[in-house]
């Protein structure tokens, strides 16, 4: 006790500063050692500590009025005496804090105390009831409140650090008390309110720590969503950090494989991550590095797959909620966020398809038809980007799904939209080739169309195929169209005439390509096209198309041989190999015997 | 023994958030000599992840791939086998084995690997083997209902290739295998 009193005397102006410091620290060590010894004495049990030791020590600490000493000694008390003692004397200990010099770094002292108590709580489950019994949370919370109130000039980072410690404490000791957690966040909001968005990097970092703690503890975003003050804290982050936090939230969901299953929770979640969903005021998207932006948006896209409920009505609500939010994202974000929503919706359609939809007497909003309307409107939004190639693909996906739902007009409408995009928006040759093949491939699978609709669409498809820029592309697309007129399953159409018309047209185009090559390059053109067409002849020949005669196949074989051996022929090894393996195939089929062998009998290779 | 991982149609992030965890834990870097990917990854992150498993990676273009520079088809020789790779949306009718056989003849390969239908297939015909590794994420397909995540691992040893197919069914990884032997009188192009 005397040592502490002596410290007070040392503050005299007579001594030089250096010497004073040295003696101070010596005395501090002495006092510290004394305290340590005190803690070891057997006779000092909890009661003695509570009734005698602590009050007396604290009295001296307060009276010495030396800020450095006070800090050191408080720290010493906390480190040296056991945690259970602190718990039982919490009120007394905390009561001393406001009485200390205003310049003492009390927040660090409090943080240390809370960290110790947090660790104590983590050490064994048996001690937890003690925390409840002494109402530790309330006391600490109040103490912190008082300190912050008293130290008006405390910078934001200081206050937030305190709250981080308190939150860590709360999550350890009272993880089930979401109201406590929310309270801590609320106190933080109160401290921050009235101020503008934080510019201080350190403070921001602490807020991120504050917000990350519940995520890490609960491993379940749904719990964090129930904290009403959580979004309010996020609002105080600057835009860039807000987005970082949003990504942390998404990563937590992905890592824990959490599914979010009601539209209300989805709404709350999208509120939290709104910095990623749309431009917040004052931060145009251009500022962000392109790679980072892509990564950000791709994580939103992945998130959309975690929003799911197997009740169709709720799932539809979820889809509508997501749609509402992503449509505020603007042209830069839509190409990332629209596709996952479309596929989510298509999965729902498929689920409803299986249900046959006879829920008697109930108003069932979730029907495939309704969802297709939604899909249509959502894909349309891509025109603002513009993203015609993507939109075309999505329309075709919807067409197929509509086909499977027996909704002919809907399927036709989706094809119409796809064709319009093809006609008006897709000018790039390579893109056209892919697009037309996707159209042909999808159309080939449609079984829902009546004759008229089918004719219109196949006519368009073959027409556009023949109009592709490069002749080889024309040729390939046209022979692909031959499959539009021959569907292999039992009710499928088998129009041998139109198949052969396509193949002959392809042949004409191949011939034209040959002639062009002769004229422009003085050498032979693409023989491989003929080999491809030959293979298509074989395909339909085997399927039993009566319009394909073995003589025609023979002629083709001879034609190819001639082309390959011709004067101006430049050796084309890959075409040769292709032809050789095609001939081998014919040979193989001949040797099969049976019906196939008979078919092939008259073909000589 | 040369291990070749064949997979595709992941459709990340359009149709799936990620590869199944059970697959990820199996796909460890350094164990596979080659990766062939049918396409529709779709983003660079997926490309980089696969590349980290094995630097010798070959990808062909799927219709949703972000990187437009992947080729339409690719051929490569591994040991005694010539492999061909193509996404498959270019071959109409989609999934039709005879049309795929034509592509196989055109590329002049023993093993043709294509995707697009999201349905695992391993089929032997007179010209060779056609493999579809399915969708590694079990992504939605307009063509196939109830897609289970799947990928293929080929063990090429001399004239023999063992095709292991890994499928995630009800949370469990099931493995099946098919043996193919190439006849010694393999045809050469010249």
**Digit-coded pLDDT (tens) for A206-248:** 889 999 999 989 888 888 888 999 999 988 888 888 898 999 9
C-alpha span between A432 and A463 (Å, rounded) = 13
Residue B79 inside a domain? The answer is: yes
| CA distance readout (Å), A594 to A478, A549, A600, B162 | 33, 18, 10, 32
More confident position, A504 or A35:
A504
Mutate to test the interface with A, among B21, B42, B63 (most CBs of A within 10 A): B63
| Chain A: closest CA distance from residue B129 (Å) | 14
State the pLDDT at residue B12: 97
State the pLDDT at residue A563: 87
- Token pair listed for A180: 């406590």
What is the average per-residue pLDDT within A170-193?
90
Residue B190 inside a domain? The answer is: no
Whether chain A has a CB inside 8 Å of the CB on B183: the answer is no
Check which CATH number belongs to the domain holding A588 and give it. 1.25.40.660
| Chain B: closest CA distance from residue A270 (Å) | 17
Domain range for B62 is: 2-181
Residue A462, SS3 per DSSP? helix
With bands split at pLDDT 50, 70 and 90, how would you rate the model's confidence at A435? very high
Residue B145 inside a domain? The answer is: yes
- Percentage of chain A modeled with pLDDT above 70: 91
Residue B134 inside a domain? The answer is: yes
Which residues on chain A are in Cβ contact (under 8 Å) with B143? 400, 445
What is the average per-residue pLDDT within B64-89?
96
Q: Examine the pLDDT at B189 and tell me if it is beyond 50.
A: no
State the pLDDT at residue A60: 83
Residue A599 inside a domain? The answer is: yes
What is the average per-residue pLDDT within A251-273?
93
Residue B99 has its nearest CB partner, among A539, A577, A585, at A539
Mutate to test the interface with A, among B12, B25, B105 (most CBs of A within 10 A): B105
Q: Interface pTM (ipTM) of the complex?
A: 0.96
Residue B187 inside a domain? The answer is: no
C-alpha span between A368 and A185 (Å, rounded) = 44
| CA distance readout (Å), B102 to A130, A137, A163, B2 | 78, 75, 69, 27
The string of DSSP letters for A37-69 reads: HHHH-TT--HHHIIIIIHHHHHHHHHHH--HHH
C-alpha span between A43 and A39 (Å, rounded) = 9
State the pLDDT at residue A13: 53
Chain A, residues 227-256, CB within 8 A of chain B, namely 254
Cβ–Cβ < 8 Å for A502, A461: no
Nearest CA to B117 out of B139, B84, B98 is that of B139
Whether chain B has a CB inside 8 Å of the CB on A150: the answer is no
**Total domain count, chain B:** 1
CA B135 to chain centre: 9
Whether chain B has a CB inside 8 Å of the CB on A434: the answer is yes
C-alpha span between A231 and A240 (Å, rounded) = 15
Residue B169 inside a domain? The answer is: yes
With bands split at pLDDT 50, 70 and 90, how would you rate the model's confidence at A16? low
State the pLDDT at residue A361: 43
**Total domain count, chain A:** 1
Cβ–Cβ < 8 Å for A535, A578: no
Mutate to test the interface with B, among A337, A342, A437, A441 (most CBs of B within 10 A): A441
C-alpha span between A459 and A399 (Å, rounded) = 18
Residue B188 inside a domain? The answer is: no
State the pLDDT at residue A198: 65
With bands split at pLDDT 50, 70 and 90, how would you rate the model's confidence at A446? very high
Q: Examine the pLDDT at A32 and tell me if it is beyond 60.
A: yes
Q: Examine the pLDDT at A9 and tell me if it is beyond 70.
A: no
- Please tell me which residue of chain B has the smallest CA distance to A484: B93
Domain range for A564 is: 470-605
Residue A364 inside a domain? The answer is: no
A253-A391-A411 Cα angle (round to 5) = 105
C-alpha span between B175 and A458 (Å, rounded) = 42
- Please tell me which residue of chain B has the smallest CA distance to A402: B142
Residue B189 inside a domain? The answer is: no
| CA distance readout (Å), A190 to A201, A286, A337 | 20, 33, 35
> What's the whole-number average pLDDT of chain A?
88
- Token pair listed for A258: 């959490």
Chain A, residues 383-402, CB within 8 A of chain B, namely 393, 397, 400-401
Which residues on chain B are in Cβ contact (under 8 Å) with A580? 187, 189
Nearest CA to A277 out of A226, A224, A338 is that of A338
Q: Examine the pLDDT at A344 and tell me if it is beyond 60.
A: yes
Check which CATH number belongs to the domain holding B157 and give it. 3.60.21.10
Element (H, E) at A451: helix A451-466
Whether chain B has a CB inside 8 Å of the CB on A491: the answer is no
Residue A304 inside a domain? The answer is: no
Q: Examine the pLDDT at A521 and tell me if it is beyond 90.
A: no
Parallel, antiparallel, or unpaired for β B111-114 and B81-86? parallel
Cβ–Cβ < 8 Å for B38, B64: no
Mutate to test the interface with A, among B9, B11, B13 (most CBs of A within 10 A): B13
Residue B108 has its nearest CB partner, among A401, A440, A578, at A578
With bands split at pLDDT 50, 70 and 90, how would you rate the model's confidence at A82? confident
Task: Give the full edge-to-edge strand order of the sheet including B81-86.
Answer: B73-78, B81-86, B111-114, B128-132, B121-125
Element (H, E) at B55: none
What would the pLDDT profile of A105-162 be if each residue is shown by its tens digit? Answer: 888 888 889 989 988 888 888 888 888 888 889 999 998 888 888 777 778 888 888 8
Q: Examine the pLDDT at A80 and tell me if it is beyond 90.
A: no
Residue A47 inside a domain? The answer is: no
pTM summary value = 0.89
Whether chain A has a CB inside 8 Å of the CB on B96: the answer is yes
């Amino acid at each position: 006790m005397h040592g502490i009193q002596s410290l007070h005397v040392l503050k005299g102006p007579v001594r030089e500063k250096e010497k004073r410091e040295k003696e101070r620290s010596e005395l501090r060590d002495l006092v510290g050692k004394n305290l340590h010894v005190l803690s070891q004495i057997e006779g000092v049990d909890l009661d003695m500590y509570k009734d005698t030791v602590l009050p007396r020590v604290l009295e001296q600490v307060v009276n010495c009025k030396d800020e450095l000493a006070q800090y050191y000694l408080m720290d010493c008390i906390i480190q040296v005496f056991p945690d259970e003692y602190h718990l039982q004397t919490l009120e007394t200990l905390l009561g001393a804090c406001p009485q200390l010099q205003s310049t003492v770094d009390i927040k660090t002292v409090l943080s240390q105390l809370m960290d110790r108590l947090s660790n104590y709580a983590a050490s064994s489950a048996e001690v937890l009831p003690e925390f409840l019994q002494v109402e530790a949370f309330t006391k600490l919370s109040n103490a912190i409140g008082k300190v912050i109130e008293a130290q008006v000039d405390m910078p934001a980072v200081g206050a937030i650090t305190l709250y981080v410690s308190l939150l860590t404490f709360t999550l350890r000791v009272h993880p089930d008390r979401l109201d406590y957690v929310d309270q801590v966040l609320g106190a933080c909001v109160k401290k921050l309110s009235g101020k503008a968005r934080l510019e201080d990097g350190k403070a921001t970092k602490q807020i991120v720590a504050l917000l990350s703690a519940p995520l890490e503890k609960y491993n379940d975003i749904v719990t964090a969503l129930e904290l009403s003050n959580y979004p309010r804290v996020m609002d105080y982050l600057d835009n860039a950090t807000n987005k970082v936090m949003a990504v942390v939230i998404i990563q937590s969901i992905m890592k824990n494989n959490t599914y979010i299953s009601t539209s209300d929770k989805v709404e709350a979640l999208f509120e939290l991550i709104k910095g990623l969903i749309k431009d917040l005021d004052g931060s145009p998207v251009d500022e962000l590095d392109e790679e980072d932006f892509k990564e950000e948006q791709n994580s939103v896209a992945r998130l959309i797959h975690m929003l799911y409920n197997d009740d169709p009505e709720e799932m539809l609500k979820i889809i509508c909620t997501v749609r509402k939010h992503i449509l505020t994202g603007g042209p830069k974000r839509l190409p990332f966020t629209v596709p996952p929503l479309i596929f989510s919706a298509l999965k729902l359609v498929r689920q409803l398809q299986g249900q046959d939809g006879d829920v008697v007497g109930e108003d069932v909003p979730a029907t495939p038809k309704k969802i297709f309307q939604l899909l249509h409107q959502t894909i349309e939004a891509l025109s603002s980007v513009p993203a015609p190639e993507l939109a075309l693909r999505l329309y075709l996906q919807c067409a197929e799904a509509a086909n499977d739902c027996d909704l002919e007009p809907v399927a036709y409408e989706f094809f119409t939209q796809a064709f319009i995009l093809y006609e008006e928006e897709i000018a790039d040759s390579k893109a056209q080739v892919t697009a037309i093949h996707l159209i042909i491939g999808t159309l080939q699978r449609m079984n829902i169309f009546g004759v008229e609709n089918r004719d219109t669409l196949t006519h368009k498809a073959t027409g556009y195929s023949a109009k592709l820029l490069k002749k080889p592309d024309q040729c390939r697309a046209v022979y692909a169209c031959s499959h539009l007129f021959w569907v292999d399953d039992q009710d499928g159409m088998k129009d041998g005439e139109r198949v052969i018309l396509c193949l002959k047209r392809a042949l004409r185009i191949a011939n034209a390509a040959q002639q062009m090559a002769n004229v422009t390059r003085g050498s032979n053109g693409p023989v491989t096209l003929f080999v491809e067409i030959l293979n298509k002849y074989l395909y339909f020949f085997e399927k039993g198309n009566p319009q394909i005669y073995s003589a025609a196949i023979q002629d083709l074989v001879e034609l190819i041989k001639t082309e390959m051996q011709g004067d101006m022929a430049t050796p084309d090894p890959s075409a040769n190999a292709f032809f050789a393996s095609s001939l081998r195939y014919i040979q193989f089929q001949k040797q099969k015997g049976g019906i196939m062998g008979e078919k092939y009998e008259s073909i000589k290779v | 023994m040369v291990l070749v991982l064949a997979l595709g149609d992941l459709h990340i992030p359009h149709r799936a958030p990620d590869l199944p965890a059970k697959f990820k834990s199996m796909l460890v870097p350094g164990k596979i000599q080659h990766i062939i990917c049918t396409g529709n990854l779709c983003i660079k992150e997926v490309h980089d992840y696969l590349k980290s498993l094995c630097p010798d990676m070959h990808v062909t273009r799927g219709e949703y791939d972000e990187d437009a520079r992947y080729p339409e088809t690719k051929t490569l020789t591994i040991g005694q086998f010539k492999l061909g790779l193509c996404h498959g949306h270019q071959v109409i009718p989609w999934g039709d084995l005879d049309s795929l056989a034509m592509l196989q003849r055109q590329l002049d390969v023993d093993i043709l690997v294509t995707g697009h239908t999201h349905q695992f297939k391993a089929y032997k015909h007179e010209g060779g083997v056609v493999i579809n590794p399915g969708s590694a994420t079990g992504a939605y397909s307009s063509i196939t209902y109830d897609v289970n995540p799947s990928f293929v691992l080929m063990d090429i040893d001399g004239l023999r290739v063992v095709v292991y197919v890994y499928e995630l069914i009800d949370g469990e990884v099931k493995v099946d295998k098919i043996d193919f032997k190439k006849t010694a009188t393999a045809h050469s192009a010249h």
